[in-house]
Amino acid sequence: MSRAVMTARGTLVLVGVLVSLAGYLWVAEVGRRTPLRASAPVEPAPLLAVPPAAVARVEVEEGTVHLVAIRRGGGWSDAEGRPWPRDAVADLLESLGTIRPVMTVDPDPTDPADYGFGPDAVRIRLLAPDGRPLLALDVGERNPAWTGLYARRTGSREVMLVGALLHWELEKLQAKAPEP
Amino acid sequence: MSGRSLGALTLATTLLLAAPPGRAADPEPSKAAPKGESWTLDSSNWQDGKDVLPESVVKRLQAGDYWFNVVSVDATRFHHNYSQAFWDATDKNAGKYDLDAKTCGLKDKATGKIPDFVFGLPFPTIDKSDAQAGCKIAWNFTMAGAMGGGGGATFTLNGVDTSGQFRRIKAFIHSRGFQGRHFGPLAEDNPEHLAGEGLSGAIEPQDVEGVSQLTKRYWDWESQDAIWAYVPSTRRARRVNAASRSDPVAGLDIFADDLNCYAGKVEYYQWKLIGEQEILAPLLQPYPFPMRSVSPTRQLIDTPYMPAGYEVPNRRGVPWWIQDHLVFVKRPVWVVEGQSSDPYYNFGKVIMYFDKEMYRIYWKLVHNRGGEYFYTAMCGYHFVKNDETFSAVFPNLVVGVNDKTNRAALGGRFQSSFLEQHWDPSYFSLRTITHMTD
């Protein structure tokens, strides 16, 4: 029967191996770690990225219907100078300033008409006092659950989903348009 | 079930139910609805519903998910679902009240302060061009709901998806209102200066038994509701935020703020009148149920159960759609937007349909704070009245439908409820909720 004997030299060798492994771990693993930092969730920008007060002209086009609101004094009037009812335009702008894209549905659709971007799409244009475009948005169909609408920035192919509140605000605007 | 979500149901009822002080009228036989025109609105004639239902509901009507038993009512008789005492007080309120511009709180014109006691609609006439019309409509809604004074019911919450029920909770709710009640202010002291208080608790299933909540609503313009939730396993009652009314109740597609379709203080929302139209109003029956006295201070009201599709064979529509004892009456409504500025409140813009005469909310559409529509609640009622000295309106049904998940929850559908005029003064207390399971 043999007896295992640990010699001083063997102990030193094992200690050396242990130190080497610990050193490797420190250099190769722990040292590479970047310190943990709390990061704020990235929230997409709202559709209208400027304050509603910066908008001087609103154009909404749907088929043959073409609505225009021009800021004059403290209120809004249409192209012929007829006043818009209180809050009708302001509500749309306020909502555009809070609605953010929920998700990108399709970065490059084969047929944009699938999302309602055909001739019947609603087109929204918001302009600054100097005529600079602040928002140009095409609004297509509602999604199957009706929780949102397909939209894309004019000139872009990327299809976004935005909240259906926009549909409600557009309906309100059309219902309150000045009588011709 | 979280205590706070269940308990948040309590307060709204507080302001709804009433107790006729010591003068319970003898019951009369229930008057059946007069035989008028009645017809069924379903997928075969859905076009007839597109102007009298919210869009999200028309979509389901067209798909065959929903159908409606529509009945016509006598407008004068329907008006008298509320007592003559209530309408007389409403007439007397003309010109008496105003609103605090900052908070939308109710203000007595004579004193410039919150009134001591209000009964009847505070704003009998609504001017559409008034920038504060939305807030005035909300106050009329609050005071119409408060005419009952106090009472309670045992009810169920049922989570239902397209395959049937997946969860059932049985709970009770008790309440006492200090404002808006028939017969004037309560004789009891109101040292906390409350508009109302309520208590609720879960009864079944066993794992939630004893979860309870106490709510107190202060009669002022600024204070948040004080809400305490008690969970038996921790044996602690803790204070919860009033914004929890927008949290799902027990993980179901229903919210404490669905009771009456709005259960918060008027001052919590910014209100805006958007328009007017007609809508189909869900009612257990068009005219009042009688009540019967069981003690000098308590009256009982028996009402039929409203079975849903998942409970009956050969159902029509989706499993959560009510199959019987529910009628729809075409009513004129104000369309009003409400929005909370509380960052902890989960709802964004809420669109509500208020009866222009009876001031009940029949439907509400809810967007989240990102502007996504996700939820429709249908709120059904029944009226209670024996004579012209007293009446009450009870919320007896909420059908909450999450269109994002295609699931629903049913709340209410109780078969018995009561009005109580004299609660034990110590009942609405932390002691009660912490000793409920002793």
CATH code assigned at A138? 2.60.40
Query: Nearest by CB to A87, which of B272, B349, B351?
Result: B272
CB contact under 8 A, B372 and A86: no
pLDDT tens string, chain A, 180 residues long: the values are 456 667 888 888 888 888 888 877 776 666 555 555 556 667 789 999 999 999 999 999 998 899 999 999 889 999 999 999 978 899 999 999 999 999 999 999 999 999 999 988 999 999 999 999 999 999 999 999 999 999 999 999 999 999 999 999 999 999 999 987
Chain B: residue whose CA lies nearest to A143: B404
H or E segment at A168? helix A165-175
CB contact under 8 A, B371 and A146: no
Q: Which chain A residues are closer than 8 Å to B369 by Cβ?
A: 98
Contact B233, B215 (CB under 8 A): no
Question: Which pLDDT score is estimated for A129?
Answer: 96
Would you call A86 an interface residue with chain B, using a CB distance cutoff of 8 Å? Answer: yes
β-pair type (A65-72, A75-77) = antiparallel
Q: Average model confidence (pLDDT) for chain A?
A: 89
Q: Which of B382, B377, B411, B409 is nearest to B397 (CA)?
A: B411
Question: Which pLDDT score is estimated for A21?
Answer: 83
Q: How many CB atoms lie within 10 A of CB B160?
A: 26
For residue A40, is it within any domain?
no
Give every residue of chain B whose pLDDT is below 70, as ranges. Answer: 1-36
Question: Which pLDDT score is estimated for B435?
Answer: 87
- The DSSP letter of residue A118 is S
Length of chain B: 438
- Structure confidence by residue, pLDDT tens digits, B30-48: 344 444 589 999 999 999 9
Question: Which pLDDT score is estimated for B36?
Answer: 55
For residue A34, is it within any domain?
no
For residue B193, what are its two tokens? 């200066």
CB contact under 8 A, A102 and B370: yes
Residues 15-44 on A with a CB inside 8 Å of B are: none
Would you call A45 an interface residue with chain B, using a CB distance cutoff of 8 Å? Answer: no
CB contact under 8 A, A147 and B349: no
CB contact under 8 A, B371 and A162: yes
Cα separation, B276 vs B135, in Å, equals 15
Sign, Cα dihedral of B362, B328, B54, B353: negative
Q: Residue B121 sits in which domain range?
A: 3-434
CB contact under 8 A, B371 and A86: no
- Give how far B368 is from chain A: nearest CA, Å: 9
3-state secondary structure of A136: strand
Would you call A148 an interface residue with chain B, using a CB distance cutoff of 8 Å? Answer: yes
CB contact under 8 A, B403 and A145: yes
For residue A105, is it within any domain?
yes
Q: What is the ipTM score, two decimals?
A: 0.86
Question: Which CATH number do you get for residue B170?
Answer: 2.50.20.10
Question: Which pLDDT score is estimated for B17?
Answer: 40
Q: Residue A80 sits in which domain range?
A: 52-175
Give one DSSP letter per residue of A7-74, joined into a string.
Answer: -HHHHHHHHHHHHHHHHHHHHHTGGGPPPP---PPP-PPPSS-S-GGG--EEEEEETTEEEEEEEETT
Q: How far is CA B120 from CA A79, B86, B103, in A?
A: 46, 5, 21
CB contact under 8 A, B373 and A166: no
CB contact under 8 A, B373 and A87: no
- Give how far B409 is from chain A: nearest CA, Å: 18
Would you call A90 an interface residue with chain B, using a CB distance cutoff of 8 Å? Answer: no
Contact B21, B12 (CB under 8 A): no
Count how many domains chain A has.
1
- Interface A–B counts its CB contacts (< 8 A) at 54
H or E segment at A140? strand A133-142
Tell me if the pTM is above 0.90.
no
Q: Which chain B residues are closer than 8 Å to A100 by Cβ?
A: 370-371
Residues near A2 by Cβ (< 8 Å), separated by ≥ 6?
none
Cα separation, B378 vs B120, in Å, equals 25
Question: Which pLDDT score is estimated for A31?
Answer: 57
Question: Which pLDDT score is estimated for A127?
Answer: 98
Helices A165-175 and A88-96: crossing angle in degrees, nearest 10, is 160
For residue B282, what are its two tokens? 């869900």
Q: Which of B362, B313, B322 is nearest to B68 (CA)?
A: B322
